[in-house]
Amino acid sequence: MNLLTANDRPGLYPGSWYAATATPPEPAPPLRGEVQADICIVGAGYTGLSAALHLAGRGYDVVLLDAHRAGWGASGRNGGQVGTGQRQGQAWLERRLGADHARRLWQIGEEAKALTQDLVHRHAPEAGWSPGIVHADRRARDVAHSHAEAAHLARRYGYDRIEPLDRDAIGTLIGSAAFAGGSLDRGAGHLHPLRLAFGLARAARAAGLRLFEGTTAGRIEPRGGGVHVATDAGGVRARHAILAANGYLGGLQADVAVRVMPINNFIVATEPLGARADDLLRQDVAVADSRFVVNYWRLSEDRRLLFGGGESYGYRFPADIAAKVRRPMLEIYPQLRDVRITHAWGGTLAITRSRMPYFAQPAPNVWSASGYSGHGVAMALMAGRILSEALAGQAERFDVMARVPVPPFPGGARFRSPLLALAMSWFALRDRLGL
């Protein structure tokens, strides 16, 4: 079974609230026959679109392939949250990688947020940018950790945008008594992810990109000092290839497959809540909690609650996504028991064992960035910029990212899913028991 076809109809965006409130660009044709280019990019999500836009701006002839449509995958289905720094906290990075490497990763993470806001401003203002993400901690010891991390960022990095929250403050702000405290990061933000993807696709095509949709890459082989990317009805000869398919890469490159694991995550949209929405979130902020399997939510522009929660491992989405997500939503907001769910959708992202993205050159003239582990809106866009720099001969920041250790999953590509499912079941049990 193939993740590209297991849960979705070919070429159609899922029935999400995002798809219902965004205008897609004109479809691009599938590739028929052989073409040549400087760069061939596989995957038209944030990584691929950002790389294509930056490379086209440098004068490269770029071909971008997608098996479905631009923004069809996780880039157009996610929670729309743009967090600060890297997926792992700075204290964690300092302990494992050293102060200098951690600081360079911090700088890349901060530039990723700035890049995201700039791309929204220039290419997709309809995607919006609303500042503020709340980190909601369920346990007192998690609150102490969050407050210590905020103090560390202010002291060591001069980042003073995070406000500590106690139980009363967070309860008032997010309208739930489920949390012991947390923090509010005014330097983070949230947006409409599919509108951003559509804006980037339009901008990249205007810059000269050749986009081929409905085109699946089958294999990549060395040829004539470059690469040949074989597709279902043709192929691309190029000097370099970029793998930007993230959780939908499949078995296209074995070295990436053993380190980058696809998992499925799910979101619902409620009916418009009107004045009731003010009792859920008192400000226009997004929220993510401290569960190992994270719950995350925010209000839409038409006052719906967009709530994400629950994961699955393997190919198939659950038969009733709404029921799966309603359960954690009601744990936090039991007052929504009578509210109707109007949209429910899933998507496939990718994680790594370290929860840090995997940047690599897995084969000659082949470049890859993926495995953003739930921190992918800004970092995927930044990965596209970093890949464009590396292909232009400026690989310093690519090397900073590539030096982060990303170990393979036990069991390799074949057995990683059942082993991960066992591990995640254990962590989910710990969440339920409050351990």
Mean pLDDT by 10 residues, the chain (435 residues): 80 96 97 98 98 97 98 97 97 97 98 98 98 97 96 98 98 98 98 98 97 96 96 97 94 92 95 97 97 93 96 86 97 98 96 96 97 96 98 98 94 54 49 49
Identify whether the C-beta of residue 368 lies closer than 8 Å to the C-beta of residue 357.
Answer: no
Which helix or strand (DSSP H or E) is residue 218 part of? Answer: strand 217-223
Q: Cα angle vertex 69, ends 81, 198, to 5°?
A: 50
What sign has the CA pseudo-torsion 272, 275, 281, 284? positive
Q: Residue type at 128?
A: G
The rounded distance, in Å, linking the Cα atoms of 134 and 110 is 18
Number of separate helices (H) and strands (E) present in the chain: 13, 17
| pLDDT at position 423 | 47
Give the count of beta carbons closer than 10 Å to the beta carbon of residue 23.
Answer: 8
Q: What's this model's pTM, rounded to 2 decimal places? A: 0.94
H-type alpha helices, 130-220 = 140-157, 167-174, 193-206
Largest CA distance in the chain: 65
| pLDDT at position 420 | 53
| pLDDT at position 426 | 43
Q: Which domains does the chain have, with CATH numbers?
A: 3-77+194-261+354-424 (3.50.50.60), 128-189+264-347 (3.30.9.10)
The CA radius of gyration of the chain, in Å to the nearest whole number, is: 21
Q: Residue type at 70?
A: A
Q: Among all chains, which residue has been given the structure tokens 């392939």? A: 65
As a whole number of Å, the end-to-end CA separation of the chain is 36
Task: Provide φ and ψ at 148, rounded to 5°.
Answer: -65, -40
Parallel/antiparallel/unpaired status of strands 81-82 and 181-190: antiparallel
Q: Cα angle vertex 355, ends 382, 65, to 5°?
A: 45
| pLDDT at position 412 | 57
Query: DSSP letters of 335-351?
Result: GGTTPPEEEEEEEEEEE
